[in-house]
Amino acid sequence: MGIDEIKTVLVVENNPADARLAQEAFSDFDDVKLHLSRDGEDALDFLDKEGAYADAPRPDLVLLDDTQSKVDGNTILVHIKTDTDLKAIPTVVLTSSSSDADRENAMRHGANAFFTKPIFYAPFEFLIRCIFKFWLAKISRAKP
């Protein structure tokens, strides 16, 4: 993936305020196509290219809040990490939880990283930018 190519990021976030923060954090990246799923069922449809998402692009990165409605975040994580076509997608759990048990559970289910969401915009935006730059740079180097 060249530096000038559009990257696809799927944000799975059911909290409207946090979804808005993520959209704002990515708004300065011209090379990012952001897709927002507001519940777990919608995220699975996007990932599996079902229904309205038949032509959805494969995400280059998934930011996943582990507390989702309809289908929980761990189910989504397991789905991604056990599906042959999806398992290589870096999946970062970005949650309000700071519980060691939640962190261990996410890592056990295949999360590439686990971060607790900062409550203020500036640190939240900084974290999003760091995650994006780290994982997308890593992906760009890994592809021919």
- Show the low-confidence residues of the chain (pLDDT under 70): 1-4, 6, 68-69, 136, 138-144
Assign residue 117 the CATH number of its domain: 3.40.50.2300
Which structural domain range is residue 79 located in?
7-139
Q: Is residue 117 part of a domain?
A: yes
* Dihedral class, residue 49 (left if φ above 0, else alpha if ψ from -120 to 50, else beta): left
pLDDT tens-digit readout, 58-78? 999 999 987 766 778 889 999
* Burial of 25: CB neighbours in 10 Å, binned 0-12, 13-18, 19+: buried
- pLDDT for residue 1: 41
Q: Is residue 56 part of a domain?
A: yes
Determine the pLDDT at residue 14.
86
1 domain residue, yes or no: no
- Count of structural domains, the chain: 1
Q: Is residue 34, in this structure, part of any structural domain at all?
A: yes
What global pTM score does this model have?
0.86
